[in-house]
Structure 1
Amino acid sequence: MFEQTRGEILFYSAPMDMRKSIDGLAAYVASSLGRVPCDGTMYVFCNRTLTKMKILYWETNGFCLWYKRLEKERFQVSLRGDVLELTSQQLRWLQEGLNYQKLKGHKAVHFQEFS
């Protein structure tokens, strides 16, 4: 879904009030995290029960807010209150209900020469 992510993906692992909309989340990013909310970073938040997720990000000329509410399951993450950097693969795993902290993808391979 977010294949074109150019910046960081930061997961704030403390419960967030899901009543916050774009302005509230952007203000939170600026005041509590000390970040510029339109810097190209995706900011990921979950509620206390791990049934809702919001992702705030800036795209060209305005904010986007992605929201997912699970009806029966929970997101597989622990809410410790710190800020974690995720890869786009880890974010996909998290959205799919997998515990991204226990999964490891293939390592990237870089070639210098071809024969």
Structure 2
Amino acid sequence: MTPTGNVYLVSGVTDMRKSIDGLSLIVADTLEMDPFSQAWFIFCNRGRDKLKILFWDTNGFWLYYRRLEKGHFKWPVPKCNGAVHISKQQLQWLLSGLTLDNPKAHRPIFGLEV
């Protein structure tokens, strides 16, 4: 699956024992965002080797869980409490073990004309 809406990293550390109800409460109460939107919400544990992705799809929640057997996710250091908006490409980088500001990636070019 690929995100159809916005993608948000939830800053800081999340207790990975939380499931759909607990994570959706974090989205609603702490982030003051709508867990029933098309957005994907990404949570990470203290060891940065586990991720959970929560999103609403038509009539129910999806909860993806990823555990690395070796290595860590390049989870950004939180600059503030809340959520950090990232692009779909940055999500792919994160899941592939890269940083969000991958300097080797081609930067998008806008406003070109032929």
**Separation of aligned partners in 1, 2:57 and 2:15:** 23
State the 1:101 CA deviation: 2.1
CA contact (8 A) 2:31 2:82 kept: no
Give the corresponding residue for 1:24: 22
CA contact (8 A) 2:7 2:41 kept: yes
Mark the CA change 1:111 to 1:60 in structure 2 (over 3 Å): closer, same or farther: farther
State the 1:83 CA deviation: 1.8
Give the corresponding residue for 1:88: 88
**Separation of aligned partners in 1, 2:106 and 2:58:** 30
State the 1:102 CA deviation: 3.2
State the 1:36 CA deviation: 1.1
Q: Sequence identity of aligned pairs in percent? A: 39
Give the corresponding residue for 1:61: 59
The one-letter code sitting in structure 1 at the alignment partner of 2:106 is G
Give the corresponding residue for 2:7: 9
Q: TM-score, normalised by structure 2?
A: 0.87
How many residue pairs were aligned? 111
Give the corresponding residue for 1:107: 108
Gaps of 5+ in 2: none
Measured on the aligned residues, the alpha-carbon RMSD in Å equals: 1.8
The one-letter code sitting in structure 2 at the alignment partner of 1:57 is F
Give the secondary structure class of the aligned counterpart of 1:15.
coil
The one-letter code sitting in structure 1 at the alignment partner of 2:51 is M
**Which of residues 61, 67, 70 in structure 1 aligns to 2:68?**
70
State the 1:106 CA deviation: 3.6
CA contact (8 A) 2:30 2:82 kept: no
Give the corresponding residue for 2:42: 44
**Separation of aligned partners in 2, 1:59 and 1:49:** 29
Give the secondary structure class of the aligned counterpart of 2:55.
strand
